[in-house]
Each structure stands twice: as C-alpha cells, then as structure tokens.
Amino acid sequence: MDVDRGAPSARPRMVDVARVAGVSQKSVSNVLGGYEPVSPELRAKVERAVALLGYVPNSAARTLRTGRTGVIALAVPNLWSPYFAELASHLTDAADERGLTILIDETHGDEDREALIARRLRHHEIDGLVLSPLAMDPASIAAAARSIPMVLLGERELPASVDHVVIDNVAAAREATEHLLELGRRRIATVGAPLDDGTSTGSLRLHGYRAAMAAAGLSDEGMIVRTRHLQRQQGVEAAAQLLAAPRTPDAVFCFNDMLAIGVMHALRLRGVRVPDDVAVVGFDDVAEAAYANPTLTSVHLDRQRIARAALDILVGRLDGSRAQGAGRTVIEHRLVVRESTGGRPDGSRH
C-alpha cells in the first residue's frame, strides 16, 4: 500500500482512509462506526489504512451525522463472577468486530442502581443497553425500555415487551439433578437457592432441582442450603452445614461453579472424597471448572452465543431490522461431565 504523504497537513479524514484503503467512504464508516456487518478482508484494509495514517475518528462528528455514538452499555450484577467477566469479554469482542465500544457498569444486584443505569441521564452517550437485572421490577424495566433500545439477560420474570436472551434454567437444573440420580445418588443437596422464593434465576434452578427429586420419589427436606451470595466462601460454609446435619448428602448440586469449588474444597479438607463419597455438580461451566481438583461437572452455558445474540438483537433494533419486543431468544445448554461425578478430566464422553 503506497501513500503519497506530501507536505504536512491537517489530521487525516475519513476520505483519506477510504483513498488509501481503496474502498468507499461508506465502507470505512461501516467498519469504524456503522452497524452493518463487514467482511474480514474489508476490515483489514480499513484498519491498515487507519494505522498507516494515524486516523482518529471524530466521535462528536459521527454522533451529529448519524445520531449514534457507537457505544453500547452492558450492566451486570458484578465482575468478580467469572461468568459475567467472561460474558463481558465476549460482548466486547463481538462489539469490536462491528466497530462498537462497550461501556460496562456493575449494579451489585441493587434495585436503585439497576434503575439508575436503565434510566441513566447519559442516554445521549450510548446507543443501547444490555442489562442483566436481579432486583428491578418488570414494570420499571418496561418503562425504561421505552426510552432506550434494551436487551435483557436472565430468565427471571421479565416484561414481554422487551427482548431478552435466556437459557432454560428449570430444564438445566433438572438435568443436572437427574444426572446425579442416574449415578445412584439419593441424598442430593443443593446449594445457592435464594433466601426468598420468587422469580429469580436461583428460584428457577431450585424449581428444576425439586422437580427432579419429586419425580424420583425423593424428599428434599433438609437438603436445601440458601445463600445470599454465590462465592466460594458460601460454598465452604454450605459444605460444613451439610456435613454437620443428621442426614448428610451423597451428592451436591450447586447453583454456580464458584459455590461448587468452595464445596469441594471444604469436603477435601474434611477427608470426604469427591466423587466417591459425595458427587458434585456446578452451573455455568466457567474456565476454572476444567482446572478444579477434581475437575468439575457443570452445566455449560455458551457465553459467546449469549453475548452475540444480545448484540445482534440490539443492533437489529438500532438499524430498524428488528421490531421492539420481538421476543425471547433461548440459548441451548449442555451438561459437561467431568471427574467430580465420575467422568473424564476433560469432560469428553467415554
């Protein structure tokens, strides 16, 4: 790629990038800040020209020209959770492919903070919002979605008028529990149910667990450990509580992998063998599950597909190709069986 730099001049313009890349200004716009998919070849040409010229897009001019900022907000309960951290990374990668920027907020599951972000005074700074609400009520979510394009993550009670991307938590939890039943386990405890039953993701997972136990003719009395948080420490504390009970478990289904890793750590410290004495299943299949000791059986959620589906829906809303409230997108799950329930370390089938 030859460039006639000539005499020093003002900062490079988009027309200069288009000339050097050998493409139209429209193509450059699509790569740098538009919402239309572009080919890898076109992206590579434009990015080479941008690097060569030292071109810096004028975001203010783009906003005035298109009415868009090229910024999408992502609001999740926390980023210490590997699940949400990996989800944010995948969404950032997907946005980068479209020339978009992701602005990340943590809500800490606080209703006021969720509402503030959803109604944010900075709406003029973002084009849309991907929100994973824990506490905000459906009516407030629906009202906020009328003022900004929004896609919701999670399977709790959500307004039908707002697009959302989910996995079937009830079916996934039932499948995890049935896997333990198929191993011959009958005293199956669960860790991570919310403090109050409702319509949260945790409540849905509890429903799936209970359905599997009831279908097997088994009681879950004394087998449910509720937690306020879903971190390793709560798993350690839950294991101690279960082992001190009159009816000790021969299996534990945890509502996320961090709880499961905490449970296995506590069992190991007390000389309880996993899976010989107690089998353990987690949920989310974060990267750490494959490196736990023993490796952890877990419900795999495809965070890359979840992130890309949410972004595709939001971009469709922005470019007019998708109507508001077009529906619910369900992402498939699968159970990855590893050492904690007698499987192979790498989760492959025998």
Q: What is the pLDDT of residues 196-219, one digit of tens each?
A: 877 688 999 999 999 999 999 999
pLDDT at 350: 55
Mean pLDDT of 254-269: 98
Asked if the peptide bond before residue 249 counts as cis, ω within 30 degrees of 0, the response is no
Across 43-52, 57-66, 191-200, 300-309, the highest mean pLDDT is recorded for: 300-309
With bands split at pLDDT 50, 70 and 90, how would you rate the model's confidence at 41?
A: confident
pLDDT at 290: 96
| Segment 263-295, tens digit of pLDDT | 999 999 999 999 999 999 999 999 999 999 999
pLDDT at 7: 40
Across 41-50, 106-115, 296-305, the highest mean pLDDT is recorded for: 296-305
Quick check: 99 and 72 in contact, CB under 8 A?
no
Structural domains in the chain? 9-49 (no CATH), 70-166+303-331 (3.40.50.2300), 169-301+335-341 (3.40.50.2300)
Q: Which of 293, 288, 238 is nearest to 266 (CA)?
A: 238
Mean pLDDT of 242-254: 96
Across 32-36, 49-53, 81-85, 185-189, the highest mean pLDDT is recorded for: 185-189
pLDDT at 36: 64
Q: How many residues in the chain?
A: 350
């460039």: which residue's tokens? Answer: 3
CA–CA dist 108, 97 (Å, integer): 29
CA–CA dist 224, 206 (Å, integer): 9
Q: Exposure pattern of 134-160 as b/e (b: 16+ CB <10 Å)?
A: bbbebebbbebbeebbbbbbbbbebbe
Q: How many CB atoms lie within 10 A of CB 95?
A: 22
β-sheet bridge partners, residue 301:
333
- Judged against a pLDDT cut of 90, whether residue 102 lies above it is answered with yes
Q: Which of 230, 224, 229 is nearest to 209 (CA)?
A: 224
First-residue to last-residue Cα distance in the chain: 53
Quick check: 165 and 305 in contact, CB under 8 A?
no
CA–CA dist 43, 199 (Å, integer): 43
Cβ contacts of residue 131 below 8 Å, gap of 6+?
75, 114, 117, 118, 141, 150, 151, 152, 153
- Judged against a pLDDT cut of 80, whether residue 60 lies above it is answered with no
What are the C-alpha distances in Å from 202 to residues 18, 194, 286? 51, 6, 17
pLDDT at 13: 82
β-sheet bridge partners, residue 131:
75, 152
Quick check: 310 and 331 in contact, CB under 8 A?
no
pLDDT at 231: 94
Q: Please give the order of strands across the beta sheet that includes 71-76.
A: 101-106, 71-76, 128-131, 150-153, 163-166, 328-330
8 versus 14: which is more confidently predicted? Answer: 14
| Segment 121-175, tens digit of pLDDT | 455 578 899 999 988 888 888 888 888 899 999 877 788 889 999 999 999 999 9
| Segment 298-342, tens digit of pLDDT | 999 999 999 999 999 999 988 888 877 678 899 999 999 999 999
With bands split at pLDDT 50, 70 and 90, how would you rate the model's confidence at 67?
A: low
Per cent of the chain over pLDDT 70 is 89
Question: Considering Cα of 56, then 57, then 58, then 59, what sign does the dihedral take?
Answer: negative
